[in-house]
Chains A and B, each alone.
Chain A
Amino acid sequence: MAKADNEVRINQAPPPDREILRMEKKKALKESLTGYAIISPWLLGFFVLVLGPILASFYLSFTDYDLLSSPTWIGFDNYVQILTNDPRFKTSIIATLVFVFVSTPLKLLFALALAVLFNTGRKGTGFFTTIYYIPSIIGGSVAIAVVWRQLFGRNGAVNDILDSLGIAGLNWIGNPDTALSVLIILVIWQFGSPMIIFLAGLRQIPTELYEAASVDGAGRIQTFLKITLPMLTPVIFFNLIMQTIGGFMLFTQAYLITQGGPMDSTLFYALYLYEMAFEYLRMGYASAMAWILLVLIAIITIIIFKTSSRWVFYESEGGR
């Protein structure tokens, strides 16, 4: 059946024949049904578990809701308040944007560089990959706070090193000018996650391509630029999108280490939102903040998606 359909499409140039149109339609319908069947686990999960809560949060963003009693409808008040009369909203947006735009490129750069380095097939790579990945494991653990304070605190290792160089150290986490940088370093330090996605991507590049290149006498750099990089673009694209979104959502590390301080210098958006929702019990306000964030991230994501047709190369789609 499938075979016949294929032949119809391939061999006959499309004469505007009713019969064929009907068959095409039927085939599209069949393919649609197959598609729905295949993604049905997600469809079920989305409609049963996810969509309801999302719509609920959208509704709540137009209410005054303290979790402890029923929500009351207040229209656009939350949105108006956030956008026109909340200085901490601005503070948190700025902190978040700085964080995202500094940490994401650097993290990806480290991840890509190390992944490529580890892909040269030298001895002991597995061991080193594990070492470099370990920082990611500790990511959400409560211990990260004490460990990080030990590094960047007043009597921490960083200051010890600076001392030995004759430079006076400072309390990196407790200083409003440096606290944000400390968190940025922390997140870059955890570049292991995108790194292993890059490694998986490198694994997937067909070896024939490299063999062909070496037959052509291409050098290392040329091979990297002509083969590795283009073939890796779908994964780079993925990492870029997800790390950007993840950056906007960053919560745990900041919550555990700085709680937004000192002086709101690390008040990331998700942290502020959480504070509103669970500490001050203003869930309606927090929901509105979430939807504003959604719009902001969506815009940035769409921009990245739009540019992707220029630089992301899909083997299955025969190029750009």
Chain B
Amino acid sequence: MKKKNGTLSDIIYYIFVIGFGFVMIYPILWMIGSSLKPETEIFGNAASLIPGEWLWGNYAQGWEGFGGIGFDVYFRNSMIVTTLVVIGTVCSASIVAYGFARINFKFKAILFGCLMATVMLPVQITLIPQYILFHNVGWVNTFYPLIVPAFLGGQPFFIFLLIQFIRGIPRELDEAAIIDGCSKFGVFLRIILPLLKPALVTVIIFAFMWTWDDFLAPLIYLNSASLHTVTIGLRNFMDADAGTNWGPLLAMSSLSLFPQFVLFAFFQKYLVQGIATTGIK
């Protein structure tokens, strides 16, 4: 496939990818650069990516957080919630997607319709009834309202995503396994899951991103400061009344990108391997 005499096309490729890549990442570089600037320089000397004087004070001040509860606590809370949500989503969404993609059961079309409909209703609307529900169970001010739904199918987005990927897997593979004596669940574990690896990686990345960035649900369910997540911590720097502390806000925002960055950097190899080395074994 790849032509060896493509040096010219390689050069064009790299020039394009690097140039466009810089445009893509410029805002992020600006944010990180600014997080190292003193407050007056952030906007006064905005055009420069590199701080006039390097200042780590924003990080120290931001890390302290509010009233004795700092970002160490927020990061730990976010980590707990996000990790559990990712695990729950991967396990439950994959099996449910398998059911929808491969097994014929009664009312499947209707249930699939329900699944899709839940994506089409804005979360802001179901938030209050759901809050009342969780309050009655006594789960307000705990992580459960954020975590448990992930184990029960999680976001329909992921189920639908995995359904699409499973439908791309040839059925002959299932049938062969069934002839070998596999149960339906066995087919899922032995045939579907291994082939679903790239899709599962995207699920991990997205579930992590969305949970990590979620603001509304943590805001409403987590009252105690000791349970706050990073997003709430960040939002606490902004107050229309008392003024926004931009330096610490940008510093902690930069820091909050880090876990996602590491996660993606680790998992991207499952998405971008050389063509010759992957595919169906």
What is the interface of chain A, defined by CB distance below 8 A to chain B?
2-3, 6, 28, 31-36, 38-39, 41-46, 48-54, 56-57, 60, 67, 117-122, 125-126, 128-143, 146-148, 150-151, 155-157, 160, 189, 193, 196-197, 199-201, 203-208, 210, 214, 220, 223, 231, 234-235, 237-238, 241-242, 245, 248-249, 251-252, 270, 273-274, 277-278, 283, 286-287, 290-291, 293-294, 297-298, 301, 314-317
Contact = CB atoms under 8 A, between A and B. Distances in A.
Interface in B256-281: 256-257, 260-261, 264-265, 268-276, 278-280
A184 to B, nearest CB: 16
Contact of B104 (A2, A32, A140, A150): A32
A28 B103 CA distance: 10
Given A134-B24, A147-B30, A129 B268 contact: yes
20 contacts: A3-B178, A35-B104, A41-B153, A46-B118, A49-B149, A54-B118, A118-B272, A121-B273, A137-B261, A138-B31, A141-B256, A193-B209, A200-B201, A201-B165, A203-B270, A234-B167, A238-B164, A245-B120, A314-B168, A316-B170
Given A140-B210, A150-B30, A248-B120, 11 more contacts: A38-B103, A57-B126, A134-B261, A137-B264, A142-B231, A147-B31, A203-B197, A210-B275, A214-B1, A249-B122, A290-B125
A57 B129 contact: yes
Interface stretch (B53-61, B70-78, B91-99, B221-229): B91-99
Given A45-B153, A52-B129, A38 B198 contact: no
A196 B183 CA distance: 32
Contacts of B80: none
B63 interface: no
A316 B170 CA distance: 4
Contact of B25 (A121, A131, A238): A131
Nearest to B49: A157
Given A57-B125, A137-B264, A294-B120, A204 B178 contact: no
A270 B246 CA distance: 27
Contacts of A28: 104
Contacts of B100: 39
Contacts of B115: 42, 46
A206 B46 CA distance: 49
A118 B269 CA distance: 12
Nearest to A28: B104
A62 to B, nearest CB: 14
Most buried by B among A143, A203, A214: A143
B108 A35 contact: yes
A206 B246 CA distance: 50
Contacts, number: 320
B27 interface: yes
Nearest to B202: A200
Given A128-B21, A143-B249, A48 B152 contact: yes
A125 B114 CA distance: 39
Contacts of B95: 38-39, 41
B275 A121 contact: yes
B117 interface: yes
A231 B165 CA distance: 11
Contacts of A314: 167-168
A41 B151 contact: yes
Contact of B152 (A41, A189, A210): A41
A67 B132 CA distance: 11
A296 B269 CA distance: 39
B256 to A, nearest CB: 7
Contacts of A38: 95-96, 98-99, 103, 184-185, 188
B2 interface: yes
A11 B169 CA distance: 25
Contact of A270 (B124, B133, B210): B124
Contacts of B235: 142
Most buried by A among B99, B100, B164: B164
A119 B277 CA distance: 12
B250 interface: yes
A199 B105 contact: no
B179 A205 contact: no
Interface string B14-30: 10010001001111101
Nearest to B169: A316
B162 to A, nearest CB: 10
A120 B2 contact: yes
B61 to A, nearest CB: 16
A291 B125 CA distance: 10
A35 B120 contact: no
B39 interface: no
A222 B199 CA distance: 26
B28 A3 contact: no
A294 to B, nearest CB: 5
Interface in B162-196: 164-171, 175, 178-179, 181, 183-185, 188, 195
Contacts of B253: 138, 141-143
Closest 6 CB pairs of A and B: A45-B152, A35-B105, A42-B153, A207-B279, A143-B253, A140-B213
A128 B46 contact: no
B195 A204 contact: yes
Contacts of B249: 142-143, 146
B205 interface: yes
Given A35-B108, A49-B149, A2 B26 contact: no
